Structure 1
Amino acid sequence: MLKVAVASQKGGVGKSTLVITLGAALKAQGLSVLIVDADPQGSATYGMGFTEAQGLAGLAALLAGRLEIQTGSGPWPDLIAGGEATAFHAWQSTEDLRKALMPLAPRYDLCLIDCPPSLSSILIAAIMSADRVFIPVQADPLVLRGLGKLVHLIDSTRLGSGENPGAYPVDVVRSRYRAQLRLTAEADQLLATSERWQVWQTTIPEQVSIAEAAGHGQPIITYSSWSTAARAFENLAVEAIGRWQLKEGR
């Protein structure tokens, strides 16, 4: 099971929507996908149609030694739910999440971990548990500055555990992309100046239909399958399969 932490130090880049929609698109490609909602806000959980009233323990239960997985229905992959309870977990070690996920490895080809958009013990644990990091960015000076800071945090964390940071892959996807803006072209040039991360070819456009789909508890690939956004996520899934060398029964 390949474990990918999806992280951003700034909200509003569509991180959680990216996680659940990419997960759905990869499931449509025949892969067995698990989403771990490690964000106390629970955005990925709610985006997949679950509510606080259902009282899902999810990740908090997993960290306490109890397995509670929501089996994916329709287009959705399986989910370990997030929520406020995660924030109150008494972290014994940054290895807690890695150890908790180990028994699930034979069941899935891919695990996508939706990280909180802030520096916290949860984010550090997610970075330590993952094989690589996937970072959505948009053409915004603050977001691009945050990218450098986040990658520095990632490298410092891995170095502190005795690992070679350079061997830990960092992938970047351009989200809420508006090709017609000059700021976008400038951002693309800035992203291309570093060899520390790989900028993916596929871009996710800025489209209202993506938010509408999430509001209806559906991924855009089924809510508006003919749309430009749906095709973008399908292309992103194909690119992920190639770059991450995904295959059934990994």
Structure 2
Amino acid sequence: MTRVLAIANQKGGVAKTTTVASLGAALASMQQRVLIVDLDPQACLTFSLGHDPDNIDASVHDVLVGSQKVSNVVLETSDGMTLLPSTIDLAGAEAMLLMRPGREFTLRRALDTVAPEFDIMLIDCPPSLGVLTLNGLTAADSVIVPLQCETLAHRGVGQLLRTVSEVQQITNPDLSLLGALPTLYDARTTHSRDVLADVSDRYGLPVLAPPIPRTVKFAEASASGASILAARRNKGADAYRALARQLLDHWQQGTPLATFDPYAKVS
């Protein structure tokens, strides 16, 4: 069975795109057939994986408006993943979808046509709670919320959780909220730990382990047109590999995902 994971947070700058690219590359290195979906009109995922959105003839926009099939649009990446790319045209798809009945199911129907070709699909949702994010959540089996370990990081988390709850009630009752993934984490600071503890207490949201450390390697990887896993071993890549292994064990064997205690002693 194909697993579909959405990465969602309407707050920008929380490493959604980095998480999709890095998790996808880690899962591909574990012999999984991975499709990553760039559902953000800014097309940062597409660009960071070596494809210039300005030079792409067809994208997820064309799939959503019904002019192209997924199989005709996908591109390959240097990390062994398949990419359903985005362009700025996607910004216009939202208005078109609003006029359609069953608009929340458009992406799900499209992905169903290629589901047998992939083990895992990862969806990079845009930094908003509009119809594109609703499409991502409706198409997914589960969702992870990347959470920046900085002041006011929890702003909007409550609204996102309400949106997830509404999707579960109306369009996707099987959607599972796996938890918050700490990103840009600095274990040396009390502040990072306090932010995570506050989110866990305030929303009852599991905090996933391992946290993703802050490192310049992520920016360097994006500039090179590949994921961080293509670089030499580093803490950021190792964290995403560990999370990818946990997700595989969770999906294949039902193993519970590890949770992070921000006040545990750091070795």
Q: TM-score, normalised by structure 2?
A: 0.84
Count of aligned positions: 244
Q: Is the Cα contact below 8 Å between 1:69 and 1:78 reproduced in 2? A: no
1:25 corresponding residue in structure 2: 26
Give the counterpart letter for 2:208 in structure 1.
W
Partners of 1:15 and 1:56 in 2: CA distance: 25
Deviation at 1:56? 3.6
Does residue 3 (structure 1) correspond to residue 7 (structure 2)? The answer is no
Give the counterpart letter for 2:85 in structure 1.
A
Partners of 1:149 and 1:230 in 2: CA distance: 30
Deviation at 1:195? 7.3
Give the counterpart letter for 2:180 in structure 1.
V
Give the counterpart letter for 1:9 in structure 2.
Q
Residues 105-114 or 237-246, more deviating: 237-246
- What does residue range 32-181 of structure 1 map to in structure 2 within 5 Å? 32-63=33-64, 64-67=66-69, 68-89=72-93, 90-91=96-97, 92=100, 93-161=103-171, 163=173, 168-181=176-189
Q: Is the Cα contact below 8 Å between 2:147 and 2:154 reproduced in 1? A: yes
Partners of 2:83 and 2:90 in 1: CA distance: 15
Q: Is the Cα contact below 8 Å between 2:75 and 2:85 reproduced in 1? A: no
Show structure 1 runs of 5+ residues with no match: none
2:208 corresponding residue in structure 1: 200
Aligned-residue CA RMSD in angstroms?
A: 2.1
Q: 161, 181, 190: which is aligned to 2:198?
A: 190
Partners of 1:244 and 1:173 in 2: CA distance: 17
Partners of 1:61 and 1:84 in 2: CA distance: 12
Show structure 2 runs of 5+ residues with no match: 254-267
Q: 225, 228, 247: which is aligned to 2:235?
A: 228
Counting aligned pairs with the same residue, the percent is 29
Structure 1 residues 102 and 239, CA gap change in structure 2 (3 angstroms): same
Q: Which runs of 4+ in 1 moved over 4 A?
A: none
Q: Is the Cα contact below 8 Å between 2:50 and 2:77 reproduced in 1? A: no
Does residue 243 (structure 1) correspond to residue 250 (structure 2)? The answer is yes
Q: Is the Cα contact below 8 Å between 2:77 and 2:83 reproduced in 1? A: no
Q: Is the Cα contact below 8 Å between 1:13 and 1:136 reproduced in 2? A: yes
Q: Is the Cα contact below 8 Å between 2:153 and 2:195 reproduced in 1? A: no
Q: Is the Cα contact below 8 Å between 1:94 and 1:125 reproduced in 2? A: yes
Structure 1 residues 73 and 168, CA gap change in structure 2 (3 angstroms): closer
Structure 1 residues 27 and 241, CA gap change in structure 2 (3 angstroms): same
Partners of 2:201 and 2:114 in 1: CA distance: 38
Q: Is the Cα contact below 8 Å between 2:185 and 2:214 reproduced in 1? A: yes
Give the counterpart letter for 2:237 in structure 1.
A
Q: TM-score, normalised by structure 1?
A: 0.90
Residues 134-143 or 28-37, more deviating: 134-143
Give the counterpart letter for 1:232 in structure 2.
A
Deviation at 1:51? 0.5
Give the counterpart letter for 2:105 in structure 1.
E
